[in-house]
Amino acid sequence: MKALFKPGPQAGFEFVERPEPEAGPADVKIRVLATGICGTDLHLQSWDEAAQSMSNPPFIPGHEFYGEVVEVGEDVRDVRVGDRVSGEGHIVCGVCRNCRAGRRQMCIHVSSVGVQRDGAFAEFVVIPETNVWVHHDPSITPELGAIFDPFGNATHTALSFPVVGEDVLITGAGPIGLMAISIARHAGARKIAITDVSQRRLELARGMGADLAVDVSTMSLGQAQRELGLVEGFDVGFEMSGRPAALQGMIENMNHGGRIALLGLPAQSAEIDWGKVVTHMLTLKGIYGREMFETWYAMSAMLSSNPVLHRNVAAVVTDVLPAARWEEGFDVARSGSGGKVVLDWSGV
């Protein structure tokens, strides 16, 4: 099969022939139709410190995908050949304390598809049946199905704290931040502000219903508060950018008792005013991946019940390219100027 391949511990991928994966007794083999390019994939391509700390080549990258089931193992009970599916990329051990307590997203022995094991930048991928998410809704296109993983990140983050009637600040208008706008609105937020410096992304944010899209190169968060008519600061924050300055700015502009969900991974150490965290009684919560599988049920329910949210999440995909043009797709994703980039594997 054709696949993007990471042959060793150096920068770059190769578009080469690789052996097709074989399904074990409890596994499902999926013909990949579409894959999303994630920030993790960019790290793996450039082979920076973050990539070196998380993976050990050789392997096939890619963990955001949609495809069709073509084979199931003898012990598979519910997934059927022909099902259209996405996949939960965190494969857990099932026996650690968190797994046994039903907190599988906190597994201490997790193995990630496309990071610690072969992934979905290929014509076929194999994952356990327990990680397969079957799409019963025919309105889920391959492009939308391919971004259920980051949509799950946005959902996990945005629903970490109650937002009914609350004023929400989102730092970082990348694809996940953009999706979080619609989720927060669906969940009952009052005012939603989002920050970035990319004019295209800020325009996308306005189209998704943000009350204020803030270019932080020209407007401070204090000014944003006044623009929105806020008196005491933001109630809930979603930090999506991974930029230390964004987190500190968020802390400085939260109401007393404010709650912050942190999804963005900083590339460098962050200076935090811990005195303000303590005296303003702020809550900081780290978010990693999706709750398994409560987040997946929430995603499907929101998409089926809210046409506006469905439209907005689908609109986060701004670029679709054939898989053979993967280098161009990675360049677009790395530019940080638009929404989600999806590679089409159907014609490979």
Does 40 qualify as catalytic in the annotation? yes
C-alpha to C-alpha distance for 166 and 1, rounded to whole angstroms: 50
CA separation, residue 181 to residues 74, 144, 168, 246, 311 (Å): 42, 17, 9, 17, 13
Catalytic residue among 35, 43, 135, 195: 43
DSSP secondary structure, 200-215, as one string: HHHHHHHHTT-SEEEE
| Burial bucket for residue 326 (CB in 10 Å: 0-12, 13-18, 19+) | buried
Residues near 84 by beta carbon (within 8 Å), at least 6 away in sequence:
66, 67, 68, 69, 134, 135, 140, 145
CA separation, residue 347 to residues 2, 112, 278 (Å): 11, 26, 55
Q: What are phi and psi of 187, to 5 degrees?
A: -85, 0
Nearest to 167, CA basis, from 193, 191, 194 = 191
What three-state secondary structure class fits 216?
Answer: coil
Does 156 qualify as catalytic in the annotation? no
Q: Which residues of 111-139 are buried (b: 16+ CB within 10 A; e: fewer)?
A: ebbbbebbbbbbbbbbbbbbbbbebeeee
C-alpha to C-alpha distance for 314 and 312, rounded to whole angstroms: 5
Q: Which residues of 276-308 are buried (b: 16+ CB within 10 A; e: fewer)?
A: ebeebebebeebebbbbbebbebbbebbeebee
DSSP secondary structure, 30-85, as one string: EEEEEEE--HHHHHHHHT-HHHHHH--SSB----EEEEEEEEE-TT--S--TT-EE
Catalytic residue among 40, 130, 157, 295: 40
Q: Which two tokens stand for residue 253?
A: 């502009």
The residues assigned a catalytic role are 40, 43
